[in-house]
Structure 1
Amino acid sequence: MGLERVLLDVTPLRSSPVFRRLWLGQTLSGFGGQMTVVAVMFQIWEMTGSTAWTGAVGLAQAVPLIGLGLFAGALVDRVDRRRFYLWTTAGQAVCALLLAVQGFFGQLPPAGVLGLVALQSCFVAGGAPASRTFVPQLLPEPQRAAGLALRRIAFQAAMLAGPALGGLLVGGVGVGGCYLIDSVTFLAALFGAFGLPPMSPDGDAEPARPGLRGVGDGLAFLVRTPVVRGALLTDLAATVLSMPISLFPLVNAERFDGDPRTLGLFLAAIAAGGVAASLFSGTFTRSPRPGLIMLVGSAGWGAALILFGLSTEPWLGLAFLVVAGAADTVSVVARGTVVQAHTPPALLGRVGAAEQIVGRAGPDLGNVRGGLVASATTGTTALVSGGLLCVLAVVAVGAATAELRRTPAPPDGGRPCPCDQDVACDAIDKECAHLRT
């Protein structure tokens, strides 16, 4: 295997100037977003000294994403996705600017800061599903997995370096300066989006129905489509059953005597593994069987967490977290490839919103599970049991969904009808009826 087939495939950046500009803009904005997370946490802590208030930051971000996500996805499937993304990105920029103003000229009370965070998250709830539709609309089928890998490495790089940059900026120019820099990075995201062509939903399909009916159609598609349903269930298995982040302070106390300088290494190890997997993503993005790759990656995540829980050597434990982060990235990229390959264009917004909700709610629930199990038993029990449950659940999903194990990604220019092949499309499946031949 040649080196070029092992390393990150950058063909989408070379072949599509539109995708390249969008990717660069979103990457820079992603760094700004991670810096703002640090600034908000620091500001809330400085004002309150309360972990309840700092915990509420995550709640302010998550509730709008979960509550509005499906409705925003249905709206994405009715309007020009480019224009909708521009408006929601501009809304996020305005919120970042308002955070900067209050940081420079008199800070809001904690509830006011969280209100701005929640408002910005409302715009994210709409912009993220729209953004998820761009890769299948900008890139041909053979390049979509590589495009998703490029987006993943940008995300992991921002997770790895963004918080450190945010800490330096908060220490140097204060929270107001950090928020201001974040608002400027949104200009890069807007610049990238302005180059997009108009992106109305598929003109051959009926537009998404408004309100709850459109949401219901999207949910019906997820329930009736084994490949997409299995992909999302696999993600839930890897997050709800085994997310370890809430256990890191306990593990740090047990293995590093609670040294605050080592606590950040746990998340950094996962991010480092993700970056490494992305750099060598050519090994799996060119695979014709992304479903099988996804299952193996998710099971690898669970197995690595089992070894992390059993490890008595602190630094070896961190090495297992690096492996877990790499497996997670493999799974995430492969899952995105599966979902986008088997979702009709007219449903991309709603399915993208469902992915976003699963990706947000799953880890939060998983961290709650880990904390409860550890409080009743031990941290090792919580980690090992979570990893074992993850592996068993992934095996069960794979066994129950033969399409994930066997069906290769459809060739460029063709998309399988996601309806049940044994029955005719009914009213629920009007969005994909045009795909039948």
Structure 2
Amino acid sequence: MSRFLLDISPLRQSRAFRYAYAARTATVLVTGMLMVAASIQLFEMTGSSIAVAGLNASMAIPMVLALMVGGVLSDRMDRRKLMLYSRSVYVFSVSLFLINALLPSPTIWLIYLAATIGGAAGGISVPAMMSATPALVGREHLAAAAALSGLSMQIGGVIGPSLAGLIIAGPGLIFCYVIVLAAVLTTPFFLKQLPALPPKGTQPQQPAIFHAFIEGFTYMAKQPLLRSLLLIDLTAVVLATPLALLPEWGTQVLQLGPEATGLLYSAPAVGATLMALSSGWTKTVKHPGRFIIAAVMLWGAAVFALSQWVWLPWSLLCLACMGAADTVSKILRMALVQKHTPDHLLGRMSSLWMTQSALGTAVGNMQMGVVSRWFNPTTAFFIGGGACFLLSSAFAWRNRSLKHIEN
């Protein structure tokens, strides 16, 4: 059984990784709380779902831009310092949310400003954390570290929003912001315990940031394995991201209340958490590329299956399977990217991966929404899930670099 249980050896063997993991877990948990709190506050102030959508955009756009810069900086300067600087800025962002809530008349523009600053800070820190992982745990433990990171993200995705809702319904919105700020203040303390993490093998003459980013992109494009990992993930997120349709699916198709929609949103995180807890086998996979292809095929099949039966338990099962498949794919992809990228390019590879994930998910949600508007949600799931399954099957047939890569 130990082969299938979550491998916690990186936590046992690396004191530095324990501190980094604590910082990451705290950040993921409070980010979920913060988004729920800010969304509820905005909707109460405006009564507009478009205003809430604007909150997501005000975080996502600066995050994508900052990811490009953060990837380059992660390959040039001490990654510990970069994480410390960006987390300190994030503290300022959360403080703005709290200060605005304490005002006699909170303002909408201050919420958007705080979200913009927070998104940019996250875009700087994520590549630094990802590129620092091999130095913290060793390349032989990358799959285990990726599984632990995925677990913290999924648990945060389940607990954070639910906890925020309970706090706002009880002590209130301001108290929720206070809890978030208190948790965010702990992250610089954890990060200060890390050793210096300078990139290895840096070039003596470093190009400008834009040219350095292009250098990283060019390296990825010339490597068949890295290029394949990027493309197969885009296949899944662009064609078969169903999250934007869940409110419509819960209220209009299933004809249930908002509590059912909440369950639909939680189901992928539940499946992902269960898979992360049983991910010990991923470190012994001989041909990880084949498992990545199979996971993407399962993702597409799960979204396709949503269209086959209009019943809440079936929908929850399909979404949980999608979340589980996504976790397997992420664990193995992260380990391969970090293992097959030189240390002085890890920051840029991490930023490219996160950028395509953020933009691909946004495009995927949009295309699902458009197809649903033209037809209906059932047809959108049918087309998107089926197309994802077929294209990932083509990867299994044609892509040799991904199929034959060995761990």
Q: TM-score, normalised by structure 1?
A: 0.90
Amino acid at match of 1:91: V
Aligned mates of 1:310, 1:111 — CA distance in 2: 43
Match of 1:322 in 2: 320
Seen in structure 2, the aligned counterparts of structure 1 residues 175 and 344 have a Cα distance that, compared at 3 Å, is same
Deviates more, 1:384-393 or 1:103-112: 103-112
Aligned partner of 1:165 among 155, 163, 172: 163
Amino acid at match of 1:374: S
CA contact (8 A) 1:77 1:346 kept: yes
1:292 aligns with 2:290: yes
Cα drift, residue 88 of structure 1: 0.2
Aligned mates of 1:339, 1:154 — CA distance in 2: 20
Cα drift, residue 172 of structure 1: 2.6
Aligned mates of 1:370, 1:77 — CA distance in 2: 36
CA contact (8 A) 1:129 1:350 kept: yes
Cα drift, residue 204 of structure 1: 5.8
- Mapping for residues 325-364 of structure 1, pairs under 5 Å: 325-364=323-362
Deviation track 1:258-310 (CA, whole Å, cap 9, x = no partner) reads: 41111111111111100010010012233132222211111111111111221
Aligned partner of 1:122 among 120, 123, 135: 120
1:223 aligns with 2:199: no
Deviation track 1:381-401 (CA, whole Å, cap 9, x = no partner) reads: 110110111122223334443
- Mapping for residues 32-431 of structure 1, pairs under 5 Å: 32-203=30-201, 205-206=203-204, 208-409=206-407
Cα drift, residue 34 of structure 1: 0.7
CA contact (8 A) 1:99 1:176 kept: no
Deviates more, 1:164-173 or 1:125-134: 164-173
Cα drift, residue 114 of structure 1: 0.7
Seen in structure 2, the aligned counterparts of structure 1 residues 238 and 51 have a Cα distance that, compared at 3 Å, is same
Cα drift, residue 180 of structure 1: 2.1
Amino acid at match of 2:265: L
Aligned mates of 1:196, 1:211 — CA distance in 2: 26
Deviation track 1:143-190 (CA, whole Å, cap 9, x = no partner) reads: 110011001000000001110101112223332222222122123322
Cα drift, residue 373 of structure 1: 0.6
Seen in structure 2, the aligned counterparts of structure 1 residues 107 and 82 have a Cα distance that, compared at 3 Å, is farther
CA contact (8 A) 1:308 1:320 kept: yes
CA contact (8 A) 2:264 2:315 kept: no
Aligned mates of 1:353, 1:105 — CA distance in 2: 37
Aligned mates of 1:395, 1:106 — CA distance in 2: 57
CA contact (8 A) 2:19 2:194 kept: no
Aligned mates of 1:307, 1:257 — CA distance in 2: 19
Taking every aligned residue pair, what percent have the same amino acid on both sides?
29
- Secondary structure at the aligned position of 2:170 is classed as helix
Q: TM-score, normalised by structure 2?
A: 0.96
Aligned mates of 1:359, 1:259 — CA distance in 2: 31
Aligned mates of 2:90, 2:217 — CA distance in 1: 27
CA contact (8 A) 2:66 2:120 kept: yes
- Secondary structure at the aligned position of 1:4 is classed as coil
Cα drift, residue 205 of structure 1: 4.5
Amino acid at match of 2:198: S
CA contact (8 A) 1:226 1:401 kept: no
Amino acid at match of 1:38: V
Amino acid at match of 1:382: A
Cα drift, residue 208 of structure 1: 4.5
Aligned mates of 1:171, 1:159 — CA distance in 2: 19
Deviation track 1:200-239 (CA, whole Å, cap 9, x = no partner) reads: 1113644652221101101101111111111111111111
Aligned mates of 1:355, 1:184 — CA distance in 2: 30
Seen in structure 2, the aligned counterparts of structure 1 residues 194 and 400 have a Cα distance that, compared at 3 Å, is farther
Aligned mates of 2:331, 2:138 — CA distance in 1: 16
Q: How many residues align?
A: 407
Aligned mates of 1:101, 1:251 — CA distance in 2: 37
Aligned mates of 1:158, 1:69 — CA distance in 2: 22
